Copies of this chain bind each other. A is one copy, B any other.
């Protein structure tokens, strides 16, 4: 186990009706809130009205900025920063999924930064001070509601990059399974893929003696797999939605990842796909992860065999550990396919036109991944395996 420092102070308010406390929780953080959201689905579901009413009741002044897109854009972040400055906003309330929260985080950090907010993503600037963030979550997927990280796309140059800072962990996060009822099947499946991928990234590690966290990862994955079809078949099944919602949160707040060095290569490789092509991050991960696994499993066949056995109930064949490992990888691909995800680039009409460029951009700052360090040629080979 690696030495680690872990602190996750986000206050989780979980369950039916919890959004009633949005106003009081926000008021504890500031007097004037930037209400940040996406395409307006929160208006059709009535959540927008309930949140506004709760904020009003708590005496919180509101400035609004909607329009966050999946793969949130730095241009809107800049607009948000300007708005927070001119309106003297002192708290940001993100109502939506990971894109909205990630956008809110970039705004929260950018308000106190003299230069451009993109500087955080290129490593040119360090986060110093941030606005506090609260969250009402509508999409279980990114885990951004209790994580310290943010991923934003710069449309000039098609860069999709991540940055993080402990101060960006939301102060509170409201998670009501009912708010996820209206999430379309495809987005639900993308979220399931994303949270699974967050666990994979932590699970495939060179850190040894990480048995407790291995088992936390495996157990959470088993639960995600078990409930995935239920939420797709019965979108208003509260219990299954609740399991998926909690799983998505712990998948990415490092409860399962302490003491181990994660990989994150697949995320980097995927970002080049959804940075160029208009596909959901989750869909990209469903395509990249099985390919990545096929490319790297020989690095630690035992770990992949353990994964196959403990997560997918595949019997360990001690005379063919490689076969056991490969059977697990096959299950991953089958699972993503079964929930309606693409598992090949050809499924989303992406051909090899940009492989060279995507691979070059992925390794622009050096090799990606920790479990196996991948150079440009490796990344290209993974895109080819994903064809």
Contacts and interface: CB of A to CB of B under 8 A. Distances in A.
Interface of A: 1-18, 208-209, 211-213, 215-216, 218-220, 222-223, 226-227, 239-240, 242-243, 246-247, 250, 255, 258-259
A8 B204 CA distance: 27
A1 B239 contact: yes
Contacts of A9: 7-9
Contacts of A219: 212, 215-216, 218-219
A8 to B, nearest CB: 7
A7 B12 contact: yes
Q: Which 10 A-B pairs have the closest CB atoms?
A: A3-B15, A215-B219, A209-B239, A9-B9, A7-B11, A219-B219, A1-B242, A212-B223, A6-B12, A211-B223
Listed residue (A9, A212, A218, A247) with the most chain B CB atoms within 10 angstroms of its CB: A212
B12 A5 contact: yes
A4 B19 CA distance: 13
27 contacts: A1-B14, A1-B15, A3-B15, A4-B12, A4-B14, A4-B15, A5-B14, A7-B9, A7-B11, A7-B12, A9-B9, A14-B258, A14-B259, A15-B259, A209-B239, A209-B242, A211-B243, A212-B219, A212-B220, A212-B250, A213-B246, A215-B218, A215-B222, A215-B223, A216-B216, A242-B259, A246-B258
Chain copies in complex: 2
Contacts of A13: 5
A13 B6 CA distance: 7
A16 B17 CA distance: 44
Contacts of A5: 11-14
A252 to B, nearest CB: 14
A17 to B, nearest CB: 8
A16 B258 CA distance: 14
A351 to B, nearest CB: 39
A152 B208 CA distance: 39
Contacts of A246: 1, 212-213, 258-259
B4 A7 contact: no
Given A208-B239, A212-B243, 6 more contacts: A1-B243, A8-B9, A15-B259, A211-B227, A215-B218, A218-B219
Contacts of A4: 12, 14-15
